[in-house]
Structure 1
Amino acid sequence: MAQPASRNTRRSGGNSIFTGVLIGLTVGAVLAVGVALWITGSNPFTSATPPAVPSQPVPATPEAAPSFDFYKVLPSDTPSELPPSAVPTAAAPRYYLQAGAFQNADDADNLKAQLAMLGVEAVIQTGEVADKGVFHRVRVGPFNAMDEVNRTRSLLTQNDIPATLVKEIPNPQETP
């Protein structure tokens, strides 16, 4: 009886994979160089010499370099006066409307929410008052002009919210 062909006659796939990778890398590199040359617009196959352009005659004499006299550049030895110093002007006062002061923080939050419903932005400042404890002040402002103060105050009185005018004069170091 005839013996069957042995199954050990496998082809080695290592060479074909290596050859495919090598061909792929070569084709990819050639395409990358071609795209780069196409995008930059340079053509390596043209001659490097630029076309002949008729040139203008060059003047024979070079331009004279400017000369500097060292002692004319430096300031004079005479003492100069100092620039006038800025006279500090009185800082414009800022006005606030204090809508309330509460020992309970929740009450201050409720008033702030009520003012927000009216379209008035308020801030809660927490501070300690001597012999009375911690107070939460609800303030509207700051205002720079009394017209703004009067408009906001009339809005608050229409909604039964009493407000007290607080005038604050900032320190000169606080103002920019």
Structure 2
Amino acid sequence: MARKPASRGASRSRKPERQVAGWVWLLTGVVAGVFIAFLYHLAQVRLDPAPQTVEAKTPAPSTETDNGGSGPRFDFYAVLPKMEVILPKSEEPDLPRRVTSQQPESNDTGSTATPTRSGEQFLLQAGSFRSDDDANRRRGELILQGFSARIQPVSMGNGDTWHRVMVGPFDNANVMHRAQDKLANAGIETLAIRVKQD
């Protein structure tokens, strides 16, 4: 006789647990380690003080004046008192205008000019560049627009040389302001400077 197969009850089979592959754990550890090393490096960079500069010892200044030609000659003692930066035209006080109804109009263009003190001229600084090539490029732009421009090299105390592009001189403030407006329309910012002549 044939045996009847034994019936078994429904057996629960366990689903295999998903295990994370070993390479994923390795990759996660490497990324975390690199991130921690990066944060440590940033903390060290912020904590380091600025590099210290070594200054040469200079002898104490003596009270005697040395008129010999051995020391450097500085011209800024004479130049700086002659130059003065003037305020932009929006901050200048308005000068009172004289209105005379009894006198006929004259075609004299000098009567509308802003009065200047005798011996004064105005310059516009149209840029200051470290590179002589950049200064010459700006000078060329100004010449193409009809301005007389020159480059004034200036040596700084730390040994750097800057090249200032100067426009002018202008004999009165109105002419200078018209030139300043024309340069502003061309996208060139300027700084107005009053030069006192002796």
Q: TM-score range by the shorter chain?
A: 0.3 to 0.5
Larger radius of gyration: 1
Q: TM-score, normalised by structure 2?
A: 0.39
Q: TM-score, normalised by structure 1?
A: 0.44
